[in-house]
Amino acid sequence: MIDATVEARHGHRLLVLTDDGRSLIAVMRGRKSDITVGDRVSIGELGSGQAVIEKVQPRRNLIQRSDAWKAKSQAANIDQAAVVIAPSPPFSDDLLSRVMIEASTQNVTVALLVNKSDLGAQRAAIEPRIVLYKSLGYEVFECSAKTDPQGTVARLAPWLAGRTTLLLGQSGMGKSTLVNCLIPNAGLRTQEISTALDAGRHTTTFTRLFDLPAPLSGRIIDSPGFQTFGLEHLSESQRLHAMPECQALLGQCRFHSCTHREEPGCAIRAAVKDGRIDERRYSLLLKLHEETRVNAPASWRR
Contact set with ligand GTP (CB under 6 A): 115-116, 118-119, 144-147, 169, 171-177, 190-192, 203-204, 224-225
The enclosing H or E element of 47 equals strand 40-47
Q: Smallest distance, Å, CB 69 to ligand GTP? A: 23
Instruction: Please tell me the distance from the alpha carbon of residue 282 to that of residue 279, in angstroms, as a whole number.
Output: 5
Site for Mg ion in 159-178 (CB under 5 A): 175-176
Q: Is 65 one of the binding residues for Zn ion (CB under 5 A)?
A: no
Q: Smallest distance, Å, CB 203 to Mg ion? A: 5
Q: Which stretch binds Mg ion (CB under 5 A): 10-18, 106-114, 151-159, 199-207?
A: 199-207
What are the start-end ranges of the E strands in 80-198?
Answer: 80-85, 109-114, 139-142, 164-168
Is 28 or 87 the residue whose CB approaches ligand GTP more closely? 87
Q: Is 268 one of the binding residues for Zn ion (CB under 5 A)?
A: yes
Closest by Cα among 278, 271, 280, 224 to 93: 280
- Indicate which of Mg ion, Zn ion, ligand GTP, none lies near residue 191 (CB less than 5 to 8 Å, by partner kind): ligand GTP
Q: Is the dihedral of CA 255, 261, 266, 267 positive or negative?
A: positive
Q: Smallest distance, Å, CB 258 to Mg ion? A: 41
* Candidate list 266, 272, 284, 285; residue touching Zn ion; CB under 5 A: 266
Q: Is 204 one of the binding residues for Mg ion (CB under 5 A)?
A: yes
Helix, strand or coil for residue 8?
A: strand
**Bridge partners, residue 110, by sequence:** 81
Helix then strand then coil, % of the chain, to nearest 5:
30, 25, 45
Q: How far apart are the first and last CA of the chain?
A: 32
Is 7 or 236 the residue whose CB approaches ligand GTP more closely? 7
Site for Mg ion in 36-95 (CB under 5 A): none
Q: Smallest distance, Å, CB 32 to ligand GTP? A: 27
Q: Is 258 one of the binding residues for Zn ion (CB under 5 A)?
A: yes
**Bridge partners, residue 83, by sequence:** 112, 168
- Binding mask 225-254 toward Zn ion (x if CB under 5 A, else -) reads ----------------------------x-
Whether 144 and 151 have beta carbons less than 8 Å apart is answered as: yes
Is 158 or 187 the residue whose CB approaches Mg ion more closely? 187
Other Cβ atoms within 10 Å of 52 Cβ, number: 13
Q: Is the dihedral of CA 124, 130, 135, 139 positive or negative?
A: negative
The answer for 195, left when phi > 0, alpha when psi is -120 to 50, beta otherwise, is alpha
Instruction: Please tell me the distance from the alpha carbon of residue 46 to that of residue 54, in angstroms, as a whole number.
Output: 12
* Candidate list 65, 116, 219, 260; residue touching Zn ion; CB under 5 A: 260
Q: Smallest distance, Å, CB 254 to Zn ion? A: 8
- Indicate which of ligand GTP, Mg ion, Zn ion, none lies near residue 164 (CB less than 5 to 8 Å, by partner kind): none
Q: Is 207 one of the binding residues for Mg ion (CB under 5 A)?
A: no
**How many residues would you count in the chain?**
302
Binding residues for Zn ion (CB under 5 A):
253, 258, 260, 266, 268
Binding residues for Mg ion (CB under 5 A):
175-176, 204
